[in-house]
């Protein structure tokens, strides 16, 4: 299983999943993390900038953990087969460990107005 965690500053679980360009990718087997790598995307491959239909570097990820995202993005990720989770846990390693143990506390996606759009983000 692959778990991605938004971490724009490479230290904490960060919000704004759609604009994030840095993700910790955890390769998990059973209940153990086998590898942790940093995925850095160019601006045009951020989730907000991508069209949602074309291949994306996050394809193959099963779970995306973030400090915040809108409902529209969560829906787009679900269509790609990615479970989108919002948490207040600030530490990426702890968030992944809690998810693996089935104890990660999650929050609902937030409603927010898209910048440059008149529509709400799936809310």
Q: For residue 90, what is the domain's CATH number?
A: 3.30.420.130
Beta partners for residue 64, in sequence order: 4, 84
Question: Contact, 13 vs 19, CB < 8 A?
Answer: no
Q: How far apart are alpha carbons 4 and 22 in whole angstroms? A: 10
Q: Is residue 123 part of a domain?
A: no
Going by their DSSP bridges, the two strands 22-29 and 32-40 should be labelled as antiparallel
Nearest to 47 by CA among 57, 39, 61: 57
Q: Is residue 49 part of a domain?
A: yes
Q: Is residue 107 part of a domain?
A: no
Q: Is residue 122 part of a domain?
A: no
The tally of domains found in the chain comes to 1
Q: How far apart are alpha carbons 81 and 74 in whole angstroms? A: 11
Domain extent at residue 52: 2-100
Q: Is residue 113 part of a domain?
A: no
Average pLDDT over residues 78-106: 97
Q: How far apart are alpha carbons 25 and 64 in whole angstroms? A: 9
Q: Is residue 54 part of a domain?
A: yes
Question: Contact, 61 vs 85, CB < 8 A?
Answer: no
Per-residue confidence band for 4, with pLDDT thresholds at 50, 70 and 90: very high
So what's the pLDDT on residue 114?
Answer: 42
> Is the pLDDT reported for residue 113 higher than 60?
no
Q: Is residue 71 part of a domain?
A: yes
Average pLDDT over residues 34-52: 93
Q: Is residue 111 part of a domain?
A: no
């Amino acid at each position: 299983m692959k778990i991605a965690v938004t971490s724009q500053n490479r230290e904490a679980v960060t919000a704004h999943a759609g604009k994030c360009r840095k993700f910790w990718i955890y390769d998990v087997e059973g209940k153990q993390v086998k590898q942790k790598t940093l995925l850095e995307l160019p601006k045009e491959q951020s989730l907000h900038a991508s069209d949602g239909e074309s291949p994306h570097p996050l394809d193959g990820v099963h779970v995306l953990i973030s400090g915040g995202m809108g409902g529209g993005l969560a829906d787009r990720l679900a269509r790609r087969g990615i479970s989108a989770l919002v948490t207040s846990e600030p530490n990426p390693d702890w968030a992944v460990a809690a998810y693996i143990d089935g104890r990660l506390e999650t929050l609902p996606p937030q409603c927010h107005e898209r910048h440059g759009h008149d529509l709400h983000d799936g809310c």
